[in-house]
Amino acid sequence: MIYLDYAATTPIREEVLHAYNEVSKNYYGNPSSLHDVGSNAKQLLELCRKELADKINGDSDGVFFTSGGTESNQLAIRSLLDAHKTKGNHLITSSTEHSSIHNLCKQLETEGFDVTYLPADQYGQVRLEDLQSVVTDQTILVSIQFANPEIGTIQPIKEIGEFLHDHNILFHSDCVQAFGKVPINVKQLHIDSLSISSHKINGPKGVGASYISPSVRWVQQIPGTSHENGFRPGTVNVPGIASFITAVQLICSEMEVNTVKYQELRKRLVTGIETIGHPILVEGHAIDQLPHIVGLSVAGLQGQYVMLEFNRRGIAISTGSACQIGSQSPSKTMLAIGKSKDEAKQLIRLSFGHMTKEDDIDKAVDVLGNITQQLYV
């Protein structure tokens, strides 16, 4: 099976598995325990915290390890809202956010919060002027993803961060897809909080992190919580965190090399698609783009059908949207950029990783050509 669904999850690397095994054997203590076994685990945990903070130019006191991206997003946003709700009840997000944030915002609306969902342009970007036009004196927080997981479009994070910083509004960014693919500097970008997930960068599943700037006040969600400085309850997963940070070190050290590789693979894929002779549109921004994610709209074919045909031919890709009982749900991102429901169902997503080869791309182009030719038989 050729795997081209790295944006969904990634295979764990051997170095990361080795780290997990070694830490499990040698640092098995509870880092909250006061004996030496616990202290050794605590020391390793704090080294991991500092290492992750360094990679985003943050402060180690702001790093909180979690179970992954969804928990990181939801805990960070709720912790910040609860701490600042005396200021107002308004928050702003985009219409293309990951479901973990979109669903949370819908829940917050039932709790009395006023949520504004910013539109996106045809490339999936929010406009700074749209954000500026909806800010009020009741606005507490803005949550904008760093990059879209379906089409890879990168948002104007720096401009958004500067504006929100000047207006004393908290800025959260879902960085799950972007981390390790592009440099992230929380101080330069004025990001107050962000989320990261281990399994998107060849680390273990069930591990992630939130970052909240130590200069920003937050409120714990479960009173009496003692782990992770009160941010999250439960015994800390030191082996999982250590292997996560091993993955962080690897992907950050390889970022420049991988970027060049993914750009070449993307170019090869797009060039190959142009030879097929069937209307296939490359979605997303031409420049502000994660190179390892390619969203394609295949005219006349539902993405779910194309994905299943790819799978039948030994290639794993994604539709970029959830599959519901009875029918494929239209991509939320595609609807947000102006597609009809039928057009939104045409999306497929191919995404690359460190093991992706040129031959994999060539085979994907051949398969896509064979599938589209069936329309003319």
DSSP calls for 262-317 = HHHHHHHHHHHHHTT-S-EEEES-SSSB-TTEEEEEETTS-HHHHHHHHHHTTEE-
Give dist(CA 109, CA 43) in Å, integer.
Answer: 41
Give dist(CA 293, CA 307) in Å, integer.
Answer: 15
Give the torsion sign (CA, 332, 280, 293, 314): positive
Look up residue 177 and give its DSSP letter. Answer: T
For residue 312, CA distances in Å to 2, 80, 357, 371 come to 11, 46, 20, 11
DSSP calls for 186-212 = HHHHT-SEEEEEGGGGT--TT-EEEEE
Q: Tell me, what amino acid is at 101?
A: I
Each residue of 259-293: b (16+ CB within 10 Å) or e? eebbeebbebbeebbeebebebebbbbeebbbbbb
Tokens standing for residue 266: 């993307």
Does 48 qualify as catalytic in the annotation? no
DSSP calls for 147-167 = B-TTT-BBP-HHHHHHHHHHT
Tokens standing for residue 128: 């700074």
* Active-site entry in 48, 175, 252, 323: 323
Nearest-10 Cα torsion for 68, 74, 78, 79: 10
The interaxial angle of helices 14-26 and 238-253, nearest 10 deg, is 150
Tokens standing for residue 343: 């057009």
Provide the 3-class DSSP secondary structure of residue 142.
strand
Give dist(CA 315, CA 308) in Å, integer.
Answer: 9
Contacts of 92 (CB under 8 A, 6+ apart): 115, 116, 118, 131, 134, 135, 139, 141, 142, 143
Active site residues: 323
